[in-house]
């Protein structure tokens, strides 16, 4: 297998300024992939881009709120000015509001829906057409164990992730003739900056680890390794599925 089998591919990643998005970006950069980094914070995107360029790849940053149609349409034009084609699309951006369903305001409901579900739709609508006619394409949608189970205070988040899993299946079927695969990744509890408050709370951390058969937090690099495999030619027969990587959480 070549040392950089993905060299000279172009990837677009949402929520790329931190957490799993940053880890995806740096893992792909190490594999020779050029990057379009999308997020709402220009400073964090700039930092990731600078780190990625150390691997000899192109890394462009695009500030946008993918929950807004106009932002994504503007993003489409901006990306086209920098990259002739997009080969890999990773819909990673997502938010969560922890409340019971009946305690949500309408604005809170729509903010989670618009970022997690509508954002993925808008990105696919704008960029999938530019992935065609290449004989290769990969869409990775970030779902969650909450696309398979749910829990108190996670109802709306869970609803969006179930919906993204359904969107993944539909896209996979629609794009088979274009040699574009679409796969969802459902991580369990991963040690990122977003989960730092949970890990810092002894009681909450202990409760989560008690429910995780492997008894540890997942590493961002483990999720990135799965993404790299999905992007490889070895995974060309994988499409339409949702891959759990959760330390055994959903096996219980």
Does residue 18 sit within a domain? yes
CATH of the domain at 158: 3.40.50.720
Condensed to tens digits (0 to 9), the pLDDT of residues 242-252 reads 999 999 999 99
Closest CA to 138 of 11, 22, 250: 11
Condensed to tens digits (0 to 9), the pLDDT of residues 36-75 reads 999 999 999 999 999 999 999 999 999 999 999 999 999 9
pLDDT at 154: 87
pLDDT at 14: 98
Distance, CA of 176 to CA of 55 (rounded, Å): 32
Residue 15 predicted with pLDDT over 60? yes
Residue 1 predicted with pLDDT over 50? no
Query: Considering the entire predicted model, what is its pTM?
Result: 0.96
Is residue 106 part of the annotated active site? The answer reads no
Residue 2 predicted with pLDDT over 80? no
DSSP per-residue string spanning 45-84:
HHHHHHHHHTTT--EEEEE--TTSHHHHHHHHHHHHTT-S
Domain region containing 230: 10-243
Does residue 252 sit within a domain? no
Task: Report the domain count for the chain.
Answer: 1
Does residue 152 sit within a domain? yes
């Amino acid at each position: 297998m070549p040392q950089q089998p993905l060299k000279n591919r172009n990837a677009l990643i949402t929520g790329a300024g931190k957490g799993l998005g940053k880890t995806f970006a740096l893992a792909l950069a190490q594999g020779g992939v050029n990057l379009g980094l999308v997020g709402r914070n220009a400073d964090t995107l700039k930092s990731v881009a600078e780190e990625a360029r150390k691997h000899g790849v192109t890394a462009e940053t695009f500030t946008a709120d993918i929950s807004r149609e106009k932002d994504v349409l503007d993003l489409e034009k901006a990306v086209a000015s920098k990259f002739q084609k997009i080969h890999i699309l990773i819909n990673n951006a997502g938010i969560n509001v922890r409340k019971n369903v009946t305690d949500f305001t309408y604005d809170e409901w729509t903010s989670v829906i618009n970022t997690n579900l509508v954002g993925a739709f808008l990105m696919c609508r704008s960029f999938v057409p530019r992935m065609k006619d290449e004989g290769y394409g990969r869409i990775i949608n970030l779902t969650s164990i909450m696309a398979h189970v749910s829990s108190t205070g996670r109802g709306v988040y869970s609803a969006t992730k179930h919906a993204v899993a359904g969107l993944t299946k539909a896209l996979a079927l629609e794009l088979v003739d274009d040699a574009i695969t679409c796969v969802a990744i459902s991580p369990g509890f991963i040690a990122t900056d977003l989960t730092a408050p949970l890990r810092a709370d002894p009681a909450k951390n202990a409760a989560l680890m008690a429910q995780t058969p492997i008894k540890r937090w997942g590493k961002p690099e483990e999720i990135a390794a799965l993404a790299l495999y999905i992007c490889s030619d070895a995974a060309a027969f994988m499409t339409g599925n949702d891959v759990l990587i959760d330390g055994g959480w959903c096996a219980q």
